[in-house]
C-alpha cells in the first residue's frame, strides 16, 4: 500500500508541474501599452551587428532602426508574433527566444519533463535497491571466486571464507 501512495504522490507532482506549465504558457498577460509591447519584443530580437545583445540593449544605429520598426508595426495594430515575423524576415536568425506556442513550445516543456521523469526514475531505482538488498552468497559463487583466484595466483590460493551476522559460512 505504501508504494501506491508514493506513486500517487509522484503523479500529483507531475500533474502539478504540467498544469503550471500549461497555465503559464496560455495565460493572458492583460492589456499592455504599446511601449511595453515594443520593449518586450525588442528584448527578444538579436542585434544583427552586436555580439550577444538584444536590440533593446544595443545603442548602434541598426538596433535603433529595428526598435523604430517594431514601434511602427505595433502602431499599425500588428500582433507581437506578426512583428517578430517581420523582423525575422528582414534579419534571418534574429530571434533570441524561441516561440512559446505550438510545436516550438516543446523547447520549454521537454527539459522540465525530462528532469521530472529522471528524478522519478532515480527515486524508484534507489528505493528498489534499498528494499531488495544483496543476493545471498551461494556455494557456487564461492567456488567460482576460489577458482578465479587460484587461476590468477596459482594453486596456493586459500579458499574465501564469508562471514555473516551468524558467524562464518
CA distance 81 to 100: 11
The DSSP symbol for 160 reads: P
Q: Are residues 88 and 44 in the same domain?
A: yes
Residue that finishes a domain, picked among 71, 97, 123: 97
Tell me the whole-structure pTM to 2 decimals.
0.47
Q: Is 117 found in the same domain as 73?
A: no
Residue 60 within any structural domain of the chain: yes
pLDDT at 72 > cutoff 80: yes
Any domain includes 78: yes
How many helices (DSSP H) and strands (DSSP E) are in the chain? 6, 2
Instruction: Give the Cα separation of 42 and 36 in Å (integer).
Output: 10
Is residue 36 domain-shared with residue 50, that is, in the same domain?
A: yes
Q: Are residues 88 and 110 in the same domain?
A: no
Residues 115 and 157 in one domain: no
Residues 56 and 78 in one domain: yes
52-76 average pLDDT score: 91
**Which candidate, 168, 136, 142, places its Cα nearest to that of 157?**
142
Q: Do both 44 and 74 map to the same domain?
A: yes
**Quick one: pLDDT at residue 106?**
73
Phi (first) and psi of residue 102, to 5 degrees: 70, -150
Mean pLDDT of the region 58-75: 92
Position 169 in a domain: no
- How many domains is the chain built from? 3
The answer to whether residue 77 sits within a structural domain is: yes
Mean pLDDT of 68-78: 92
Shared domain for 8 and 25, answered yes or no, is: yes
pLDDT band at 93 (very low <50, low <70, confident <90, very high): confident
Same domain, 61 and 48: yes
Same-domain status, 74 and 121: no
How many Å apart are CA 26 and CA 63, to the nearest integer? 30
User: What would the pLDDT profile of 139-159 be if each residue is shown by its tens digit?
Assistant: 998 999 989 988 887 655 455
* Helix, strand or coil, per DSSP, at residue 40: helix
State whether 66 and 10 are in the same domain: no
Per the structure block, which three cell numbers stand in for 12? 500529483
Residue 168 domain flag: no
Residue 71 counted as domain residue: yes
Q: Find the range with the poorest average confidence among 17-31, 75-89, 113-127.
A: 17-31
Tell whether the model's pLDDT for residue 64 goes beyond 70: yes
Q: pLDDT per residue over 11-57, tens digit each?
A: 888 888 788 777 776 665 655 788 889 999 999 899 888 888 899 99
pLDDT score recorded for residue 167? 55
Q: 141 in a domain, yes or no? A: yes
Q: How far apart are CA 143 and CA 123, in angstroms?
A: 36
Q: Is residue 54 part of a domain?
A: yes
Q: Which domain holds residue 83?
A: 32-97
Residues 48 and 86 in one domain: yes
Asked whether the predicted pLDDT for residue 168 surpasses 60, the reply is: no
- At 27 the pLDDT is 60
Local structure of residue 167 (DSSP, 8 states): E
Quote the pLDDT of residue 169. Answer: 52
- Asked if 25 contacts 100 with a C-beta cutoff of 8 angstroms, the reply is yes
Positive or negative: CA dihedral 67, 72, 77, 81: negative
Amino acid at each position: 500500500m505504501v508504494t501506491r501512495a508514493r506513486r500517487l504522490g509522484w503523479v500529483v507532482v507531475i500533474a502539478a508541474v504540467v498544469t503550471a506549465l500549461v497555465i503559464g504558457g496560455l495565460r493572458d498577460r492583460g492589456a499592455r501599452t504599446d511601449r511595453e509591447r515594443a520593449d518586450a519584443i525588442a528584448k527578444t530580437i538579436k542585434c544583427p551587428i552586436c555580439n550577444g545583445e538584444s536590440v533593446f540593449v544595443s545603442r548602434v544605429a541598426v538596433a535603433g532602426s529595428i526598435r523604430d520598426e517594431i514601434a511602427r508595426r505595433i502602431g499599425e495594430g500588428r500582433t507581437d508574433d506578426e512583428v517578430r515575423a517581420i523582423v525575422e524576415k528582414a534579419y534571418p536568425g534574429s530571434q533570441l527566444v524561441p516561440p512559446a506556442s505550438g510545436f516550438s513550445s516543446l523547447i520549454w516543456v521537454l527539459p522540465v519533463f525530462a528532469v521530472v521523469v529522471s528524478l522519478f526514475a532515480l527515486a524508484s531505482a534507489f528505493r528498489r535497491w534499498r528494499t531488495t538488498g544483496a543476493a545471498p552468497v551461494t556455494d557456487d559463487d564461492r567456488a567460482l571466486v576460489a577458482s578465479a583466484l587460484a587461476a590468477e595466483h596459482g594453486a596456493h590460493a586459500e579458499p574465501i571464507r564469508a562471514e555473516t551476522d551468524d558467524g562464518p559460512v
